Amino acid sequence: MPLGERAGDKSDSRYCGVETEFNDDIPQLLSLNINGGFDFVVATLMDPAYRPSLKSDEGNKSCGVLPFAGSDLVLSPSQWSSHVVGRISLWIDLDSEDELLRRDSETCLKQEIAWAAHLSLQACLLPSPKGTSCGNYARVVNQILQSVNNMQLWLRIPLQKSDEDTVNETGDLGREQMDSWELWNSFRNLCEHHSQLSIALDILPSLPSANSIGRWFGEPVRAAIIHTNSFLTNAKGYPCLSKRHQKLMSGFFNHSIQIVISGNQDINNSLRSTEAGPNNNNNRIESVQRHPLRPYLDYVGYLYQRMDVLSEQERFELGYRDFLQSPLQPLMDNLEAQTYETFEKDTMKYIQYQRAICKALQDRVPDEASSTVTTILMVVGAGRGPLVRASLQAAEETGRKLKVYAVEKNPNAVVTLHSLVKLEGWEKIVTIVSSDMRCWEAPEKADILVSELLGSFGDNELSPECLDGAQRFLKEDGISIPSSYTSYIQPVTASKLYADIKSHKDLVHFETIYVVKIHRVARLAPSQPVFTFVHPEYSINNSNQRYKKLQFELPNDTGSALVHGFAGYFDATLYKDVHLGMEPLTATPNMFSWFPAFIPLRTPVCIRPGLPLEFHIWRCCGPTKVWYEWCVASPTASPVHNTNGRSYWVGL
């Protein structure tokens, strides 16, 4: 029974599991917990007393297989797959100094994973590494990952980091307590960042800082195991969580991370019914009373259901979350009708444009001349006409007279433009020009030049080159909308995006700048400005080539983190105080025309507080193309990506 329903939300976080003790009667174990309200069980697959070295294989020599588990027939294949996560034996220690224990551990781990794969389980929970050195454990897990198909391995990692961490003069972290992220990072590096290796976070009663926790939302966390001893008790004797734990749970829900409840019921709550939570069905009271952890499940369900309903914009973006898309090639390719339609639905963008055009018209023509002076406005890159409509609405709003040239190179969009002008009766006001703006010879100069050529990274769809070619028909005192725009970047942990790129097993995909609705990422430092372009630009020495060196620093309480790449944004000044953008701190609300850019690194870079991350990026221009090159210079140097635009470029 899912925790609840939110419109448009079909994420895994709706399902809550329970960690169980070993029980050789799996059907009874599953029935008790499913009837008690849980969606799946985390169940031990093998008797904890089993050791390969203690099990005599007398009588089994004919088959060569030790009888280490029960039958797969006790549940149906769909029950195994849908309702059971295998828990690997907790005694396993592959880095033990005891050779016999180490050998037994390796044999048993491989047996259990093979059995779980045979049962078609979707995931297995691996025990936490026993110490900071986990080389042999990771080696064996990596061997298994090379042969297992589809099944996820969840490595259990405690969510802990000492608040006493300090950075000494050599840049090393001195700690009284291990930062569990370091343990995870070591393990996944040894396993070559395998896409089927994930995390099950153990949530403890004491939580580290918010910055430290934030790192994990960019990592492949599939489950959060919260023990009953992390709960508090309210005045009525029911379980509840601290404000910080509640906020953490909301973060898990928003990132499709499943909750697993573990531990024992407080004796004072053992006979409570469903009053504590929202799932108040009388016909379930009997089963609730039987299941000792139901009050905890009810409380988790209550937290889930009190979350805000997804907005229309969020529902629209759900299918795009963490999905890598190649950026548009606006000059080389003609956009399709579906792309135009998506952009045109973004009403906030055109509201901002209309505001900017209103201000420009009022500045251009005083009130006393509004009935006699006609403003020449050119929309360059008119598409199917949304900016033409916004311009005419601005003229009507301000009482100004307008003559509009709609310039568009896509012949298919021009067909729609002609139909729109005829339908709206704009023939005397709007002139349609079927031409590339860089080639067109305007019959007269424009007072206002309007365009929507911005890309996710500001200049990455060649707005500078297009507007440089179009500004020759703008009057010397004319107005360009937008008047300027700046790109921004920030370092991010983005394990899912990295894994998706890595799966292509080539250089080209690591040297491409993508457009993506980033969701499961950790933003590690505030974004910083990169390249700025101003229009019109009449400087004689103007060049659209750019170079920028940036330094980012982690907050001191974050701990170490892995940088998989950089998120890219832009902020544009349309006119005066009217701006449009997606930089996180200044983003225009309720606007979805642009998703962030993602600039990947071929090899992720580990950074620590006190050791700045130095990033270099170049915007390069050639006769037929524009491209970007980038690299990290410290704390470790990366290769320069996309040299000479060998993998990714935008055609002129």
Classify residue 538: in a domain, yes or no. yes
Q: In terms of domains, do 372 and 258 share one?
A: no
Q: Is 645 left (phi over 0), alpha (psi -120 to 50) or beta?
A: left
> 493 with 374, same domain?
no
Tell whether 275 is covered by a domain.
Answer: no
Please state the rounded mean pLDDT for residues 131-145: 94
Q: Which residue from 139, 145, 222 is spatially nearest to 187, judged by alpha carbons?
A: 139
Q: How confident is the model at residue 332 (pLDDT cuts 50, 70, 90)?
A: confident
For 174-211, give the DSSP string: E-SS--HHHHHHHHHHHTTT-TTEEEEEEEPSS---HH
CB atoms < 10 A from the CB of 433, how many? Answer: 20
Give pLDDT, residue 289: 52
Q: Is 307 annotated as a binding residue?
A: no
Whose tokens are 């690591």? That residue is: 510
Q: What is the per-residue pLDDT for 545?
A: 97
Q: Is 304 annotated as a binding-site member?
A: no
| 560 located within any domain | yes
DSSP strands (E only) in 166-300: 166-167, 173-174, 197-203, 221-227, 232-233, 239-240, 258-262
pLDDT at 7: 59
Q: What CATH number should be reported for the domain holding residue 466?
A: 3.40.50.150
Residue 58 domain flag: no
* Candidates 461, 511, 583, 629; catalytic one: 461
Q: Quick one: which of 140, 80, 79 has its CA closest to 107? A: 140
- Which residue in 19, 106, 112, 452 is the catalytic one? 452
Which of residues 422, 450, 481 is at a domain's end?
Answer: 481
Residues 465 and 511 in one domain: no
**Is 436 known as a binding-site position?**
yes
CA distance 622 to 323: 30
> 72 falls in which pLDDT band (50, 70, 90)?
confident
Identify the pLDDT of residue 463: 95
* 544 and 441 assigned to the same domain: no
Q: Are residues 343 and 446 in the same domain?
A: yes
**pLDDT tens, 453-505?**
999 999 999 999 999 989 999 999 999 999 999 999 999 999 999 999 999 99
Q: Is residue 7 part of a domain?
A: no
Same domain, 632 and 545: yes
* Residue 128 domain flag: yes
Instruction: Examine the fold and report which residue of 448, 481, 514 is the final residue of a domain before the chain moves on.
Output: 481
Q: Residue 166: its pLDDT value, please?
A: 44
Report whether pLDDT(279) > 60: no
Interstrand relation of 514-515 and 597-607 (parallel, antiparallel or unpaired):
antiparallel
Cα dist. 210→243, 247, 251, 318 in Å?
A: 12, 10, 11, 25
Q: What's the rounded Cα separation, in Å, for the pair 435 and 409?
A: 5
User: What pTM, to 2 d.p., does this model score?
Assistant: 0.90
pLDDT, tens digit, 9 for 90 and up, residues 549-581: 999 999 999 999 999 999 999 999 999 999 999
**Can you give the pLDDT at residue 56?**
52
Do 124 and 19 lie in one domain? The reply is: yes
Domain boundary (428, 448, 481) is at: 481
CB 123 within 8 A of CB 145: no
219: confidence class by pLDDT, cuts 50, 70, 90: very high
Determine whether the annotation assigns residue 437 to a binding site: yes
Instruction: Identify whether residues 497 and 570 lie together within a single domain.
Output: yes
Whether the CB-CB separation of 23 and 29 falls below 8 Å is answered with yes
Identify whether 319 is part of a domain: no
Determine whether 461 is an active site residue: yes
Q: Does 452 participate in catalysis according to the annotation?
A: yes
- If asked whether residues 381 and 351 sit together in one domain, one would say yes
SS3 232: strand
Say which CATH number the domain at 117 has.
Answer: 3.20.20.150
Q: How confident is residue 291, by pLDDT bands cut at 50, 70 and 90?
A: confident
**Residue 446 and residue 494 in one domain:** no
Tally the domains of the chain.
3
The answer on whether 238 is annotated among ligand-binding residues is: no
Tell me whether residue 593 is in a domain: yes
Lowest mean per-residue pLDDT among 67-81, 289-303, 403-417: 67-81
Confidence band, pLDDT 50/70/90 cuts, at residue 50: confident
Lowest mean pLDDT among 292-296, 303-307, 326-330: 326-330
Q: How far is CA 636 from CA 5, 580, 606, 641, in A?
A: 46, 36, 8, 15
What residues contact 87, with CB distance under 8 A and at least 6 apart? 19, 42, 43, 44, 45, 124, 125
Range of the domain at 185: 12-50+70-162+177-228+249-263
Residues 614 and 541 in one domain: yes
Pair 473, 512 in one domain: no
Q: For the domain that residue 614 is a member of, what is the CATH number?
A: 2.70.160.11
How far apart CA 126 and CA 201 sit, in angstroms, is: 11
Tens of pLDDT along 371-387? 999 999 999 999 999 99
491 three-state secondary structure: strand
Cα end-to-end distance, the chain, whole Å: 55
Least confident of 58-67, 161-170, 267-276, 351-360: 267-276
Is residue 175 scored above 60 in pLDDT?
no
